[in-house]
Structure formats: structure tokens, C-alpha cells
Structure 1
Amino acid sequence: MTSRLITPTFLLSWLVNFVQYLLFYLLVTTTALYAVTEFAASEAASGLAASSFVIGATIARLFSGYVTDVLGRRPVLLGSVVVVVVACCLYFPAHSLPLFIAVRFLHGFAYAFASTAIMAVVQSAIPPERRAEGTGYFALSSTLATAVGPALGLFLVRSYSYPVLFTVTLATSVVALLLALFVRIPRAPRAESSRFTLADIAHPAVVPIGLFMLLVGLCYSGVITFLNGYADQRGLSTGAGLFFLAYAAIMLVMRFVLGRLQDSRGDNVVIGLGLVSFTVALGILAVARADWQVVLAGALTGLGYGTLMPACQAIAVRLVPPERLGTGISSMFLLMDVGLGVGPVLLGGLVSASGYGTMYALLSGVSVLSAGFYVAVHGRSAASGR
């Protein structure tokens, strides 16, 4: 008899996660421009305003798993969501650039704790034999937020104003808090409080597959950071506008297949499909001259990166004991975020020197190298069933 997957805990956790990601994407496309228009910020300062959220989240990832494991999932979840509401309130009186950057940092810091805690909650509610399937369905919450959030944020700013955007953001954060109050958290063993060590930042069992996702995240950073500039230069703005719609659409369809496939056939078949798709997508972006090619690359990126992320999250959860679930999840997020954060810094100079086509061709090669790394650190043991 198949264990039940879709439970009230799963559904409420899915909604909380969706709202948290929606908050991120509502603001991610608008904060740099807000810093320029409101504070006359330079390009560097506006970039800091945009990236301060990620900086706060990355710092929080260093110990969010440890805190979640030691204090418990419910207090960390509720406490972090309350801080998110406070941060959303503070956008209104943040009338200087340093204050605005500080608020973005605080929001990112709390967001990292909330995402770690809610992922630990939902993983404890997923039957082990349906781990990949459940993780894939859960990942759809962030996928939908990716499809809806940036466009909604830009619409609110262009059609109304930044105060209206901040009002919608605040109301959305309150919805997340109300939903979190009703999440029933399964009983789980709590880690004993002990001295904080390096293993609490990055769990040794998760580091290898996390480093694989660091390489994949570096490749994906080239997509999310430079796609608009690439499209403007090549006259492919229509294709770029449909890129993430195609990404979300293919994920919505394939999530009903790939998670079950990973549970029944193992990790390698799904990871292999994801790597091939992502590598081809990056190769298409390197040579694309038509809008349909960019849309195709978006669909393949959804089948690629959109497959690899939940598949590796399911692997990470299997690699740690139940009482270290938070640490395992935060370790994966931390390493993936490092790739996403470092990528634009490394790739910006390459774009200036050689152009977008060269950058995407190089990233396609990095994706191939990551396949070899995956085989070395996990693929062979997964194939043998160890």
C-alpha cells in the first residue's frame, strides 16, 4: 500500500514556501531600480541593494540548519516568518540607502531560516519511499513563484508605485504568517545541543552532492543574471520574456513523472536527464539567433536545472539522519547559493571581454564537467545501490 503524500501538513507547507518565494521574486526585479530612482544610487550601490538580500540569506545558511535541529522546526519557522513580516514593514520608513540595504539584509536573513525550517517540516511529512516524488511536487511552489513574482512586481511598479508594491509585499508576508500558524509539524527527533562546529555549517555527507549543485548553480547564475542583457543585444526580447514561462510549464508537466522515476529507478537516470537538458540549453543560448530558440532553451532549462535542484535535495535528505535534517538541507542550500552568488562576479568580466555567446558556451562545458564530478562523488554509489 502506497503511503499518503498529499496531507494537510504538505499542502500548508507548500503554500508557505510559495508565499516566501513570491516575496523574494516580487522584489528581486525592482530593488536595484528603486535604489537608483529613490536614492540616486550608483550602479555599484544599486547592485549592493539588490544583492544584500542574498548576502543576508547566505550568512544565515551558515547556521540555520543547526538552529533548526537544536531549537525545533516550529519555533524557528514561526520566529523567522514573524521577522519577515517585520522586515516588510520596515521597507516603508527606510528613507536612506544604508537603511534600505539593512532591511534587505534582514529580510534575506529571515528568509533563509524560514526556507530551511519549512523544508525540514515537509521532508519529515513525506514518506521515505516517495521522497523524490514529494520533493519534486514541493519544488513546484518555488517554480510557480518564479513564473509569477517578477512579472507581478514589475507590473505593480509600472502601473502603480513602489509604496503599492511594498503594501502588497507586507500583505503577502502576513498571509505567510497566518498559514504557518496552522502548519501541523510531525514529531521528529531533535538534535542534542552541542558546540557549534564546521560540520553544522556543511554536513560532511552532503558536501559532495552540494559541491555538484554549486557548479550547477554557477551555470544557472549565468542565465538569471545575464539573460535580459543577452536578449537586448541580440534582439531576442520576446524569447527572453517567454523563457521562464516555458521553464515553469515544462516543470509543471514533468514533476508528475520525474520524482516517481527517481524513487523507482534511482538517482542517476534523473540526474543524467537533467544534466543533458541543461547542457543543451546553455549550448542553444550560445548560438541562438531566433526567439523560438530562446524559448526552447527555457524549456530545456526547466527540464535541466529545474530537475536537478529537487533531485539533489531529495538525495541530501537521504544522506543525513532525521535529527540532522535541517543541517543537511541548509548545507545543500548554502553550497547552491554560493554558486549562484559567485557566478555573476566571475562571469561579468568574461561577458565584457568575450561576449554572451562565449560565456554560455563555456557554461555548457562547465555543465559537462559537473557530470563527471557527479559520477565521481555520487553516481557510482547510486548505481550500485549503496
Structure 2
Amino acid sequence: MQIAEQERIASPTFVLAWVVSFLQFVVFYALVTTMALYAVRQFAASEAGAGLASSSFVIGATLARIVTGHVVDRFGRRRVLLVALAVVVVSCALYLPASSLPALIVVRMLHGAAYAFASTAVMAAAQSAIPASRRAEGTGILALGTTLATAIGPALGLFLVGSAGYGWLFWTTLGVTVASLLLALALGEHPAAAPAPTPDPAPAGVDHGEALTPGEEGASEVPVEHPAPAVGFRLRSVLHPAVVPIAGFMLIVGLAYSGVITYLDAYSVDRGLTAGAGFFFLAYAAAMLLMRLTLGTVQDRRGDDVVVYPALVCFLAALLLLATATQDWQVVVAGALSGLGYGTLMPAAQAIAVNAVPAHQLGAGISTLMLFADVGLGLGPVALGGLVAAAGYGAMYAVLAAALVVGCVYYFAVHGRKHGRNGTAAAR
């Protein structure tokens, strides 16, 4: 009975972390879909200025990722999460008085940096609450929050702007961030549970959920977190060597996805496929939601390759379909395929990354993965802009499909060839 209790995913820590993460993603998507047009309408920004107003969030987040892992592991997940969420609340409040484009860009960068710390800390907290034998399954459930936010966030932002104006959008996102901060205060404050035996030591580089298993007198159902000893800032704190290979794979995948989220709107207008583009992310979220609960279990039991390779094929098909689409339904199908593709690859890679590091280095492992993914998402549009201008959207998506093939070969070389057949349960 005690073992079954330890193996459950839906612990109070995990549930609270899931909700906090979901609320942060809702705010992110609600603002990112409306910020460029807001900059144009409010400050008469140029196209470049509007793009910077939107992407400055990612710039701030990417710069912060350099130190988030070290800070989270050094000072503790809960402490960093609370401070970061407090800064997020301040950032959201500053959208209201921001009276110029430079001020808006500074607020966006501050929000992005605080979000990077909060997301790393909350994901580390959630991952620490997932039993090692159900790592991919739990990571998939955690990713469902992102999936739902992908559909709810943009819809909420566009609805508020269209019906009530930007002021209501900023007040609503501020309220959501305050709610997430209040919920985060409850993390780690649950009553004590009966102590359980301490698990056997795990081999280096494999997280067996030590931080979650109550093993000492006075331990609670929520793990007692012990911040890492005070050590100097090192390169390993920024780029955990065990995670860099899979993170490099996600940089390529993120580059491919950046062409979707950045240029889908303009692409649909250029080809007269705006109706299909309107349902793209709804199809994305629906497809991922249907498959995510089962794919994590499959990855745990049958290995990473069984999930990663089909996801790559789906994402490749989505990019090729976008490159050649002439009808709205093709864009909708591409959205569903993107959900099965990119929407599956990110949580699958996160499970691989978490299993590659010990429990006390979860922050460094997660921040390494997200740093590389952010670089791909953030720098991709800059590199692709010239390609779109020179050759058009069809050629851009074709080139991204080719890049994804390179990513597949890279994944095989760095992970699939030796470790791809081992699932979490098998590793344990």
C-alpha cells in the first residue's frame, strides 16, 4: 500500500505545480498573440518594432536561462518560484502604465526573465514529485497544461481585446498571476505523512525520485527540499553536460516550430487560408490532448524511440503540408500533425533530460533543455525572415522540413542509437 502511494503521480505537490504552470502559460499565450498589434495601435510601432515588442519576452527569458538552473538548484525550487512569481506580478502590473514602446519592451523583457525562473522552478518541483518509473507519463500530464494554454490563452487574449480592450487584458493577466502566486504559497506546506523506507541509491545520472520519497523521520508527503551546498557559478550550472545532447536536438526542433508560430498568420493571409489558420492551434491542442495521456506510458515502458520517431514523422508531414497547402482543411490537418509532432517531442525530451540528471540538479537539467529550445524559438524568426523575403513561405517550410530530417539523424546519433530503446521503467 505504501509503495502504491509512492508511485502515484497526482500528489499535492504535482497538482499545485501543474496549476501554477498552466496559469503562467495562459498569461504567456494571451499576451504573445496580442502584443505586436498592441504596439502598432498604441505606439504606432513599425513592423520591426512590433516584432521586437512581442519577441523581447523570449529575449529576456533566454538571457535568464543562463543562470536559472544554478539559482534554482542553489537556493531551492520553492523559494525561487515565489520570488520569481512576485516579479511576474509586478511585471504584469507594469503593462498598464507603460507609456512608450521602449518602456513596453523593457517590461516584456523583465516579464520574460521572471517567467524563465518561475517556469524552471515549477517544472523542477513537479518533476521531483513524479515517480521515476512513471517519468514520461507524468511529464506528459504536466505538458497537458501547456496544451490547454495553447488553446485557451490566445482565445482569451483575442476575446478580451476584441470585446473590452487592452486594459481589461492587462488586468485579467495580472489577476491570473496573482492567483498563481497564492497557489504557489501552498507548495510544501502539507501535513506530514508516515515515514517510508529510504530507496536504494541510484546510479549516477538517473533520478529515481529520491527527493520525493519520504525517508527520514518527520518527512512529509511533499518532499523536504534541501538546496545544494554553496558552490561557485560554473559552466555545468548553465549547460548540464548530460542534457546538452538532447537539448541540441530540441534546438533544431524549436527552430522548425518557430517558423510555424511566427509566420503562420502572415502565411495564411498570403495564401488566402485564414479560415484554416484560425483552427490550427485548436487542432494542435486537441490532437496533443488525445494522445498525451497514453504516449507517456508508452515511453516509460517501451522506450524513447517509440515516441520520438513517430512524432518526428508527424511534424515533418505538418511542415511539408504547410509548404504545399492550397486549402483550409490542409492547414487544420497540419495543426493536428504539429500537435502530435512538436507537442509530443517537447515533453518526451524533458523526460529524457530529467532522467539524465540526479535529483539535486533538476534545475540545471531543465534549464539546459529550455535554454536550447528558447534559442531555437527566439533566433529562428531572425534567420527565417530573409528566407521568406527571398523565396516565400512554401520554400521556408520546405527548408524547415529538411532541417527536421537533420534533427532526426542527430537524435539517432546522440541518443536513439544507444539509449532510445530504454524507457524509464526499464532504466529503473
The bucket for the TM-score relative to the shorter chain is over 0.9
Note the 1:89-238 alignment, pairs <5 A.
Answer: 89-184=93-188, 186-238=223-275
Note the 1:258-273 alignment, pairs <5 A.
Answer: 258-273=295-310
* Contact 1:209-1:374 at 8 Å conserved across structures: yes
What letter is aligned with 1:269? V
Q: TM-score, normalised by structure 1?
A: 0.98
| Runs of 4+ with deviation above 3 angstroms | 383-386
Q: Deviations over 1:232-261 (max 9, x none)?
A: 111111111111111100111101210000
* Contact 1:188-1:323 at 8 Å conserved across structures: no
Deviates more, 1:282-291 or 1:1-10: 1-10
Identity %: 61
Give the one of 51, 55, 58 matched to 2:62: 58
Q: Deviations over 1:273-307 (max 9, x none)?
A: 11111111111111111111111111111000011
Structure 2: distance between partners of 1:230 and 1:96 = 29
Structure 1 partner of 2:317: 280
Structure 2: distance between partners of 1:90 and 1:36 = 18
What letter is aligned with 1:17? S
Report the count of equivalent residues.
386
| TM-fit CA distance, 1:139 | 0.3
Deviates more, 1:67-76 or 1:227-236: 227-236
Structure 1 partner of 2:45: 41
Note the 1:290-301 alignment, pairs <5 A.
Answer: 290-301=327-338
Deviates more, 1:326-335 or 1:188-197: 188-197
Q: Deviations over 1:87-106 (max 9, x none)?
A: 11111111122221111111
Give the one of 378, 384, 408 matched to 1:347: 384
Structure 1 partner of 2:74: 70
Structure 1: distance between partners of 2:357 and 2:68 = 16
* Contact 2:76-2:226 at 8 Å conserved across structures: no
Structure 2: distance between partners of 1:281 and 1:232 = 18
Q: Deviations over 1:14-63 (max 9, x none)?
A: 11001001111111011111112212222222221111111111111000
Unaligned runs of 5+ in 1: none
Structure 1: distance between partners of 2:379 and 2:340 = 23
Deviates more, 1:289-298 or 1:125-134: 289-298
Structure 2: distance between partners of 1:364 and 1:354 = 15
Structure 2: distance between partners of 1:186 and 1:21 = 25
* Contact 2:308-2:348 at 8 Å conserved across structures: yes
Q: Larger Cα Rg: Structure 1 or Structure 2?
A: 2
Structure 1: distance between partners of 2:292 and 2:106 = 37
Structure 2: distance between partners of 1:101 and 1:384 = 45
What secondary structure, in the 3-state scheme, does the structure 1 residue paired with 2:279 have?
Answer: helix
Structure 1: distance between partners of 2:226 and 2:93 = 35
What secondary structure, in the 3-state scheme, does the structure 1 residue paired with 2:224 have?
Answer: coil
Q: Structure 1's 126 and 41: CA in aligned 2 closer, same or farther, altered over 3 A?
A: same
| TM-fit CA distance, 1:343 | 0.8
C-alpha RMSD over aligned residues: 1.2
Q: Between Structure 1 and Structure 2, which shows a larger proportion of helix residues?
A: 1
Q: Structure 1's 383 and 176: CA in aligned 2 closer, same or farther, altered over 3 A?
A: closer
What letter is aligned with 1:93? P
Matched, 1:32 2:42: no
Give the one of 345, 349, 358 matched to 1:321: 358
| TM-fit CA distance, 1:189 | 4.4
Unaligned runs of 5+ in 2: 189-221
Structure 2 partner of 1:12: 16
Structure 2: distance between partners of 1:153 and 1:198 = 39
Give the one of 380, 397, 407 matched to 1:360: 397
| TM-fit CA distance, 1:383 | 4.1
Structure 1: distance between partners of 2:75 and 2:120 = 13
* Contact 1:189-1:322 at 8 Å conserved across structures: no
